[in-house]
Amino acid sequence: MRNTSSYDRLTDRFSRIATIGECASMLGWDAAAMMPRGGGAARGDQLAVLAGLSHAQLTAAETGDELAAAEAEGTGGDPWRTANLSLMRQAYKRATALPADLVEAQARANSASEKVWREARKASDFAQVRPFLNEVLRLARQAADALAPALGLSPYDALMDGNQRGVRAADVASVFAAYETFLARALPEAEARQSRAPAPARPQGPFPTDAQEALCRRLSERLGLDFAHARLDRSAHPFSGGTPTDVRITTRYVEADFTQAVLAVVHETGHALYERGLPADYARQPVGEAAGMGVHESQSLIVEMQACRSDAFLSWLGPELLATFGGDPAPYQPDNLGRLWRRVERSFIRVDADEMTYPAHVILRFQLEQALISGDLAVADLPGAWNDGLHALLGIVPPDDASGCLQDIHWYDGAFGYFPCYTLGAMAAAQLMNAARRAVPDLDTALGQGDMTPLLGWLRANVHALGNRLGFNDLLRAATGKPLDPADFQAHLTERYLG
């Protein structure tokens, strides 16, 4: 007879909750990739209902009773069950701190704001979306204030913990402060070194969209993504979504330059490979999920930045690009691709930034969103604060809102406390790559043949298969022998840009 224990009944309940989340994920993918503009209002209602159903399942009195009973019964020392039960308790604690009407209101407000943001960004008109962001922020503050006492955290830390458990703003602030010091020295040095090298030659287009799309699919498959369980589509903002057995990645194509599409697909494939590698035995359980967004970013960036922008991989990729697009072979030489795709530049757009200046974009957002959540920064003052902050970090000022505070979807979709995960992930990726190279001596030889198998195998064993059993630093300690060490990232940048 099934479900004779409290723990088994809990796993059934959390499986239903996860399935509701999968439905919401698919509706979110559709909204970004397929849905007509007129479907926005109804989609907001649909997502709100699903959020309410999930919240009701999680906060039901039976859930609390079963948790208490399962904790009393114990897990027999099984580390997976122990971790799963602990994560269930944490999810219950977060959910019961939030009123159901607030959860549904956030889903509606986020959906409405995100739709208006798309139009506001096109028009570079922050005023158009400002009242919607005000509402999103008002509700996010309510949620943060409700979560904080329940979790014993500050309001902003409570939001961060929902994206990467165990990571606190104070920890991030010290890491980011050290990086600002490094950047102030390293960026001018990198720029000076770059100015002495030959300027990279850009491949000359046009590059037909259909040819780009076919190349992106082949490249994603070459990296290890099985399209029996995946799709590649188009969206305004590249992303990865779906479920571990049905991952959805998107990119955008520009006929004048294939770079954006190719590098976005490589990045999103890293996310997708992580989802595909999660432990199937714990599917739809908290312990079987990804170990947080910082870890997720480490998996996209170890594929994109550490592997696919390496000299070894570019020596394989160059001929593939030439065979696809033809023309002058010189721009496709590995050394030229390296100068082109590893060029340091003070730029306005985060998603297009090089890996040395990218953390500055994240630091800016980290500072601003803390001020927004605390109430120290009003939404109306965001454009000016953004421009001042970017000037302080990189010495440049965006020419308009589209290049400034409108460029990212995150805040307009209610995602506060997410941005630090990008740079934590970049630092973790460098640390993991160091460990992988020590463990797999022929890794770069394989990359030079376009073969990701050795790296993917190491990641499967040391990151993917662990699911959500370990927190950010414990996972890194298990895989590399130490918690997050930003020195590895700085050493990577020094070797690549200053060596």
Report the side by side order of strands in the sheet with 246-251. Answer: 230-234, 246-251, 240-243
| 320: number of Cβ within 10 Å | 15
> How far is the C-alpha of 221 from the C-alpha of 241, rounded, in Å?
17
Contact by Cβ (8 Å): 20, 50: yes
User: Which residues, 6+ apart, have CB-to-CB distance to 39 below 8 Å?
Assistant: 31
Paired sense of beta strands 230-234 and 246-251, if any: parallel
**What is the 3-state secondary structure of 326-382?**
CCCCHHHCHHHHHHHHCCCCCCCCHHHCCCCCHHHHHHHHHHHHHHHHHCCCCHHHH
- The DSSP output letter for 495 is I
Residue 298 CA to residue 211 CA, distance in Å, equals 29
Alpha-carbon span 263 to 414, nearest angstrom: 26
**C-alpha distances in angstroms, 337 versus 76, 112, 195, 213?**
54, 41, 16, 20
Spatial separation of the C-alpha atoms in residues 245 and 264, rounded to whole Å: 21
Q: Which of 114, 135, 268, 304 is labelled catalytic?
A: 268
Which pair of tokens denotes residue 349?
């757009």
268 annotated active-site: yes
H helix or E strand, kind and range, residue 242: strand 240-243
For 274, other C-beta atoms within 10 Å of its C-beta total 26
Q: CA 429, 398, 347, 472: dihedral to nearest 10 degrees?
A: 0
CA-closest candidate to residue 311, choices 445, 193, 198: 445
Backbone angles phi, psi at 257, to 5 degrees: -160, 120
Just list the catalytic residues: 268
